[in-house]
Structure 1
């Protein structure tokens, strides 16, 4: 289990002797990085992956292949966040975080969630300007409502565009946030990223995320 102490080696690595390029990188350079990566992934991967996974999802359970959920973006502006559907289709269901043993998750959905492939359609969100490739993960609106005004630093994670992946997720602070300390740890990672973001850090986070796909994400279910 991750704890606050597990954050210290990462903090030291990024804050010792690091000069942040945040002001410049938040603008043209970061958008260029986003368009380059998202464009390449869309052409090389999504062009064939979306039809194949959409067919498998539709064959395994009733309902649409894509799941569209409204989430908060930069400065709290809401946008339609795209995912492959990983749960049984129930449009009237109330929000509930996925649990380790969750009967709602379909067999193909379990694989997609474990490998992060369910997030791949969000590269289209990046092209549309809703998201970045790397940044704090956007939370469902009920989680925002729960923490926005009561947890220190929570709103800070929305000073930048949300990301498909982020420092928190790449270091294991992902998945269910049943306990407050789990959300606090995620926020500390997110705020660290916002302070130290750069093209080299984004590239490293992308690499860590790809490695996690093949190793398996311990907190993904």
Structure 2
């Protein structure tokens, strides 16, 4: 065995494999006393990767409210969960006629576990009051994603895809008469097509048989207060639709 081969075997903890028996030679005709054989230490072979089989996660479409909330709470289906404080499930009347859907939690929502509780939330409450609505009374509020994106960035496509089934199940359970999508992300995610917010406003859309109206996200209105007049038009359109 050359030095290189010996070094490789030592690195793999496979050397020495055995030690040659040594015989003591004698010039006299005396019995030979054998030297005890040094047995090689068995080498433990490291097992390969262990596949942990987890119990299958139930589809959100089969869950009731308590089970759905529990699954959202325990969800780690996308990378957002590792960077947020907690999931933000949604809040309000679980049999509401009005469903308002935003994009995702911000810093205040992540801290308190409830959607729209910061400055954008205060504006949303004022928007609701303007059409004689109130948070929690015949109104449910949710988001496209349940975890805060880092830096309040727009959720990425894979994050939306992982989280959207939860919202879809919420809609199935609530059975709202009208969905108001707040902002482009909410609108395009629910409608399943990309389009500008301007092209989506002012039209009655359909989400799986439920009427859907698009307006601006309150956070955008805080940055662009001149657009509040257009948002008011959208709210009046929504209110008119609910009275028909």
Common fold by TM > 0.5: no
Structure with higher RCO (Cα < 8 A, 6+ apart): 1
TM-score normalised by L of structure 2? 0.30
Greater share of helix: 1
Give the structure with higher Rg (CA): 2
